[in-house]
Amino acid sequence: MKIIDGLIFHEKKGFVKETLYTEGGRFSLSTTENTIVDARGCYVIPGLIDIHFHGCAGHDFSDASPESLTAIAEYQLSQGITSICPASMTLSPETLQNICECAHNFSTKNFTNASRLAGINLEGPFICNAKRGAQNPDFIRQADFNLLKQLQETAGGLVKLVTLAPETEGAMDFIREVKHSALKDISVSVGHTESDYDTAKKAFDAGADHVTHLFNAMPAFTHRAPGVIGAAFDTPGCFVEIICDGVHIAPPVIRAAFAMFGSERIVLISDSMRATGLSDGAYTLGGLNVQVSGRHATLADGTLAGSVTNLYDCMRCAVSMGIPLELAVQCLTINPARSIGIDRDYGSLTPGKAADFLLLDKDLNLIGVYKDGIKIRTTG
């Protein structure tokens, strides 16, 4: 395949007008294939990667249902998200086992019209009750290496992230055990925490290398108490997630985060829940009742309960806040791929990687979705 006359995204150079090639479902330096894609007037970017969301289209990853997971993956691909790492919630060990088993079974099948299941994000149950957000307090528990090991075995190695409150009992030992075991490739993510700077920095020094939805469910970053945010800033190589739905974080804070961390360390996420793509009304998240009105999803007490914005629209939101498109794309593609260790095959338009790419018009409308070099959607 030849993709001609488009503005091709390069993570170092931005957008360059050149020809992009694919061969056998991978990007290549040249091609023998006859298909030509006219990308005139379009941006050509890698398929998006969402490493933290819960559901969409009326379904939740924690349903542990093959039908739900299929519907989720089909919706995500239709919106330009070609690889997904959905998040579980703070639930019982039995339910988490069922979620991991369902995900593993799904990952063994090849669905052309569905996003690729690239991993599992365990958001809980090893969190702090005071900063639980929309997580169920009944299932919060102490960090448990053996439980994580069992879940990873059930998942067939799909677990890529686990959220941890480092101030809780056993947390530091848990991080060290993970990082000095066969589970070392799982990123320990600091989140849903009351941790101060010193405790968070100890966690990062012990091996944690990720932050769950920066600014949310953690102490504020202030001039005398920098907290988790300051500790993450002082830890080179630590990736930080940001929900960019226009609700969770104010635009000036988004811009400040980019100035503070640089585009190399930010991973934009949606944190979307099952109401995404649907109308206002009553829904659930992790067994808790959620009311959706416009872009807001809240518990009865007003606590934000995820977002109702898919990742593609989060990109548009970031650009509307003043983030340059090339930086936003970096934070939606190669950064999430690197953060969960799948960048060898996904996240950029580099020869040898899977030919996942999107066509966007100048107004950032989604015109075309391609996965493994196969056209999934064309609009406009």
Torsion of CA 355, 318, 218, 338, to 10 degrees: 20
Q: Which of 134, 185, 180 is nearest to 296 (CA)?
A: 134
For 91, the 3-state DSSP assignment is coil
Cα 84-158-11 angle, rounded to 5 deg:
45
Q: Which two tokens stand for residue 231?
A: 């500790």
Report how far Cα 51 is from the mean position of its chain's Cα atoms.
Answer: 2
Query: Which residues on neighbouring strands pair with residue 17, listed in sequence order?
Result: 7
Q: In whole angstroms, give the CA distance from residue 299 to residue 288.
A: 8
Report how far Cα 198 is from the mean position of its chain's Cα atoms.
Answer: 27
Q: Which of 231, 201, 236 is nearest to 214 (CA)?
A: 231
User: Could you confirm whether 372 is annotated as catalytic?
Assistant: no
- Which of 271, 313, 343, 356 does the annotation list as catalytic? 271
Strands across the sheet with 159-164, in order? 120-122, 159-164, 187-190, 210-211, 239-243, 266-269
Q: Which two tokens stand for residue 55?
A: 């559901």
Q: In whole angstroms, give the CA distance from residue 305 to residue 299.
A: 6
Alpha helix segments (H runs only) across 227-324: 227-233, 251-261, 311-320
DSSP tally for the chain: helices H, then strands E = 10, 22
Q: In whole angstroms, give the CA distance from residue 292 to residue 278.
A: 10
- Long-range Cβ contacts of 214-217 (<8 Å, 24+ apart): 214/240, 214/241, 214/242, 214/257, 215/242, 215/248, 215/249, 215/253, 215/257, 216/133, 216/243, 216/248, 216/249, 216/304, 217/131, 217/132, 217/133, 217/191, 217/192, 217/193
Catalytic residues: 271
